[in-house]
A and B are shown apart, each in its own frame.
Chain A
Amino acid sequence: MSLLKTIETGLRSLLGHRLRSVLTTLGILFGVAAVIATVGIGQASSDSVTARITSLGTNLLTISAGSTVSAGVFGGAGSANTLTMSDVQGLQDRQSAPDIAAVAPVSQGRASLILGSANWSTTVSGSTDGWLVTNTRTIGSGTFFNANDVATRTQVIVLGSTTAANLGAGVGDIVLVKQIPFQVIGVLATAGSQGFGNQDDLAVVPITTAQDELFGGGVQRILLSATSASTIGSAYLEANQILLQTHHIADPSQADFSITTQTQVLSTAQAVTQTLTILLASVAAISLLVGGIGVMNIMLVSVTERTSEIGLRKALGATPLDLFRQFVIEAGMLTALGGLLGVATGLAVGYIVPRAANIAVHITPLPVFVAVGVAVVVGLVFGVYPALRAARLAPIEALRAQ
């Protein structure tokens, strides 16, 4: 039998059982759509993490305080107060650290800001004038505080644009942080939210003021900016050397601090999102497999139901190969159709979800082709066994079945 005629016969038989064909197709449809959509969501979150991290500047290094060990309990990185303002001064020395362009210590906490009747809780960071450079931010209106403000512990505050808008605060207003008045001297230019969190909802004060009035002494992190992306390596070594010296540590493996670069953070974050994507996609792939088993099930039913037809076709001269082909092609058509509709559904999900639920979906061609390819292969593989059953039926017994 010619291929075209086989396809026509298959179509005729699928159309003869419309509801059954549609339901079988649905199994594949959802499998393919799920694979496309989940990989799309995973891809989008990976993109957004990458964008967010690179927007912080690729020549950024972060020094975190070491961990405490108290009665054998490991406190976790940053739990020890090993970083001090004198470390910051050491790192600012152009002589021993020529590749470090800017240094900004950070002492951070959450606090409520009050202006009149407006009350807004946000992250307040104590830092120095190096904060703007290391965070690659710019001032929108007013000014940022300078080294003198840090030295004299002035009570001034710079707000993110979202924070300012929510408080209704502008340059010159006095806001209360933990009952202490701070004068707003500047509002940052909008950075935009990048998927997770909002970079415009924050407040910055001189670190000396923060230590004295808000969060107590100590430095949680020190942000460093290398002179360029290519000097990150040497900036890293210089910072490490300076801190080992000022902390009087001879053995580098005993360091009470750790330095991470943006590239490290980036690759870690990408590995995490990739793992999540693979996890989601595997769950989706399992549903595709279940759909394939559905196809096999329905093809077995079809073979049983059409036993006498198979017997007749054999008597009329259909070879085992003819019948094998017919059933494999029927299964292949079911899954190919399900696959194509699944692509359409997946693309529709990719279009609707970002608009309806504010979840980014980024669909790339590869998973689409892979999902459809897998669907068709699944159909053919799961169609083989029923088709073999049809091909092997003895014509006499098949004819007798009524």
Chain B
Amino acid sequence: MPGPDELIHLESITKVYGVGDGAVAALREFSLTVASGESLAVMGPSGSGKSTLMNILGCLDTPTSGSYWFAGQDVSRLNETELAHVRNRRIGFVFQQFQLLPKLSAWRNVELPLLYRNVRDRRSLALQALEQVGLSNRVDHRPSQLSGGQQQRVAIARALVTNPDLILADEPTGNLDTASSRDVLAVLHELNEQGRTIVIITHDPEVAPVAKRTVHVRDGRLVEQVAA
């Protein structure tokens, strides 16, 4: 059972893809806890199982066995609709490819998660979130009119707008140049300073220092924990 301060509590999570002889275990007996307000970097080479970990942490996928408590709730056995609600209310995603809808303006992109929970004042919430990432002057721009760094900041604003418990960033600087990377990491760092829990999945050693704690994944197992 999770402790009171733990936002994330993974207990012996195993994730197997495929069946029979072709079955591959992407995660084996994986356990991890993340406290509220913590910042964590998950590192590992490709094929290590860190993407699978990200999918399970983000409630995009369910484990084959083991338990996942998120904010005190066992989410490992929820159905698709219940998982959608958890994602919508409690998790903000930042993806490597930004995943902005090209035909929508910046604030319309930020508004998206709010559409799935029937909130009023969506525009003012979206504008607040854009202000937090320093893009108040770009609200009506389309993604194609923004630089990579700006696009990723719009994506961070979208992750923030629902005031989630967790921000889950998957290779957030993977498609950015050094200056933009620094920008984006600074925003994430600042959010953590404000008390937001952040998990960054990355293979880039430059990114890890932004987090207070770094864990390594290899062959679907947790191999070491380094306190920063």
User: Which residues on A are within 8 Å of B, measured CB to CB?
Assistant: 1-2, 5, 9, 12, 16, 308-309, 311-322, 394-396, 399, 402
Q: List 6 A-B contacts (CB under 8 A).
A: A16-B103, A315-B60, A316-B158, A317-B162, A319-B116, A402-B97
Number of A-B contacts (CB under 8 A): 64
Note all chain A residues with C-beta closer than 8 A to B60: 314-315, 395-396, 399
User: Which residues on B are within 8 Å of A, measured CB to CB?
Assistant: 55, 58, 60-61, 80-81, 84-85, 87-89, 93, 95, 97, 99, 101, 103, 112-113, 115-118, 158, 162
Note all chain B residues with C-beta closer than 8 A to A319: 80-81, 84-85, 116
Contact A396 B103 (CB under 8 A): no
Pairs A-B, 10 closest by C-beta atoms: A317-B88, A316-B113, A317-B116, A319-B84, A319-B81, A312-B99, A395-B60, A317-B87, A396-B60, A396-B55
Note all chain B residues with C-beta closer than 8 A to A317: 84-85, 87-89, 113, 116-117, 162
Measured CB to CB, the closest approach of chain A to B175, in angstroms, equals 12
Contact B61 A313 (CB under 8 A): no
Contact A399 B84 (CB under 8 A): no
Once bound together, how far apart are the Cα atoms of A224 and B121, in whole Å? 84
Given A322-B116, A396-B55: A314 and B99 interface contact (C-beta under 8 Å): no
Given A316-B87, A316-B88: A1 and B103 interface contact (C-beta under 8 Å): no
Note all chain B residues with C-beta closer than 8 A to A318: 84, 88, 116
Once bound together, how far apart are the Cα atoms of A314 and B95, in whole Å? 14
Note all chain B residues with C-beta closer than 8 A to A12: 103
Once bound together, how far apart are the Cα atoms of A104 and B49, in whole Å? 102
Given A2-B118, A5-B115, A317-B85: A308 and B99 interface contact (C-beta under 8 Å): yes
Note all chain A residues with C-beta closer than 8 A to B113: 316-317
Measured CB to CB, the closest approach of chain A to B82, in angstroms, equals 9
**12 new A-B pairs (CB below 8 Å) besides A16-B103, A317-B89, A399-B95?**
A1-B115, A309-B101, A312-B99, A316-B112, A317-B84, A317-B162, A318-B88, A319-B81, A319-B84, A319-B85, A319-B116, A396-B60
Note all chain A residues with C-beta closer than 8 A to B88: 316-318
Measured CB to CB, the closest approach of chain A to B172, in angstroms, equals 14
Once bound together, how far apart are the Cα atoms of A320 and B119, in whole Å? 19
Note all chain B residues with C-beta closer than 8 A to A309: 101
Contact B84 A314 (CB under 8 A): yes
Measured CB to CB, the closest approach of chain A to B173, in angstroms, equals 18
Chain B residue nearest to A306 in the complex (CB): B101
Interface of A is mostly: helix
Chain A residue nearest to B55 in the complex (CB): A396
Contact A1 B80 (CB under 8 A): no
Once bound together, how far apart are the Cα atoms of A318 and B103, in whole Å? 19
Contact A316 B93 (CB under 8 A): yes
Chain B residue nearest to A316 in the complex (CB): B113
Once bound together, how far apart are the Cα atoms of A110 and B81, in whole Å? 81
Chain A residue nearest to B158 in the complex (CB): A316
Contact B112 A313 (CB under 8 A): yes
In this complex, which of A1, A16, A402 has the most chain B Cβ atoms within 10 angstroms of its Cβ? A1
Once bound together, how far apart are the Cα atoms of A313 and B112, in whole Å? 8
Note all chain A residues with C-beta closer than 8 A to B118: 1-2
Note all chain B residues with C-beta closer than 8 A to A311: 99
Given A1-B115, A16-B103, A320-B80: A315 and B87 interface contact (C-beta under 8 Å): yes
Once bound together, how far apart are the Cα atoms of A311 and B93, in whole Å? 12
In this complex, which of A2, A312, A315 has the most chain B Cβ atoms within 10 angstroms of its Cβ? A315
Measured CB to CB, the closest approach of chain A to B61, in angstroms, equals 6
Once bound together, how far apart are the Cα atoms of A308 and B60, in whole Å? 14
Chain B residue nearest to A6 in the complex (CB): B115
Note all chain B residues with C-beta closer than 8 A to A312: 99, 101, 112
Once bound together, how far apart are the Cα atoms of A154 and B77, in whole Å? 107
Once bound together, how far apart are the Cα atoms of A230 and B88, in whole Å? 79
Contact B61 A396 (CB under 8 A): yes
In this complex, which of A12, A309, A312, A317 has the most chain B Cβ atoms within 10 angstroms of its Cβ? A317
Once bound together, how far apart are the Cα atoms of A283 and B170, in whole Å? 56
Note all chain B residues with C-beta closer than 8 A to A396: 55, 60-61
Measured CB to CB, the closest approach of chain A to B98, in angstroms, equals 10
Contact B116 A316 (CB under 8 A): yes
Chain B residue nearest to A15 in the complex (CB): B103
Note all chain A residues with C-beta closer than 8 A to B117: 317
Chain B residue nearest to A323 in the complex (CB): B84
Chain A residue nearest to B87 in the complex (CB): A317
Chain A residue nearest to B100 in the complex (CB): A312
Note all chain B residues with C-beta closer than 8 A to A399: 60, 95, 99
Once bound together, how far apart are the Cα atoms of A338 and B53, in whole Å? 47
Note all chain B residues with C-beta closer than 8 A to A314: 60, 84, 87
Which of A1, A16, A402 makes the CB contact (< 8 A) with B116?
A1
Contact B61 A315 (CB under 8 A): no
Note all chain B residues with C-beta closer than 8 A to A313: 112, 116
Which of B58, B61, B81, B87 makes the CB contact (< 8 A) with A321?
B81
Chain A residue nearest to B88 in the complex (CB): A317
Once bound together, how far apart are the Cα atoms of A399 and B98, in whole Å? 11
Once bound together, how far apart are the Cα atoms of A319 and B86, in whole Å? 11
Measured CB to CB, the closest approach of chain A to B88, in angstroms, equals 2
Once bound together, how far apart are the Cα atoms of A394 and B55, in whole Å? 11
In this complex, which of A316, A394, A399 has the most chain B Cβ atoms within 10 angstroms of its Cβ? A316
Chain B residue nearest to A5 in the complex (CB): B115
Once bound together, how far apart are the Cα atoms of A2 and B118, in whole Å? 7
Measured CB to CB, the closest approach of chain B to A6, in angstroms, equals 9
